[in-house]
Amino acid sequence: MAGIQVRAVSKYILGSPVKMRRVVNSVRGMRAQEALEVLSLLPQVAAEPIYKTVKSAVANAEENYALDPESLIVSTILIDEGPRLRRMRYGARGRYKPIKKRTSHITVIVEEDEEWIDELFESEA
């Protein structure tokens, strides 16, 4: 069963993709449980929706494919730009100042760590 990739997607998350990518770069390639610990301690606001998406991907792997959460690594995290919410703020002399509230789509892909599986079978032998 090695090589199974499980994903979770969160769409239309209010937050700039640039700010979210800053958080994502700190957890890409980590073990899933370790990434959840790091995300829960980060001070950035963008860490919360990323934490929820990683946790959802781990839950999907555990529920749908009966994978051990300890054996999962975060192989890929993508932050894509969603639609912008266009608002306006009134300015001087009858003008308006546009405000663009940016949204993001978060895609997390976790897969089983083959090295962890090999270590598990070696310890049983």
**Tens-digit pLDDT string for the chain (125 aa):** 457 899 999 999 999 999 999 999 999 999 999 999 999 999 999 999 999 999 999 999 999 999 999 999 999 999 999 999 999 999 999 999 999 999 999 999 999 987 766 666 666 66
Instruction: Give the DSSP H/E element, type plus range, for residue 90.
Output: strand 85-90
The count of domains in the chain is 1
pLDDT at 116: 64
- Rounded distance, CA 60 to CA 62, Å? 5
- Rounded distance, CA 67 to CA 97, Å? 51
Whole-structure pTM value: 0.87
- Rounded distance, CA 46 to CA 102, Å? 13
pLDDT at 120: 62
Q: Residue 71 carries which DSSP code?
A: G
CATH of the domain at 73: 3.90.470.10
- Rounded distance, CA 105 to CA 20, Å? 10
Query: Rounded to the nearest 5°, which phi and psi values hold at 42?
Result: -70, 140
pLDDT at 117: 62
Domain that holds residue 97: 5-124
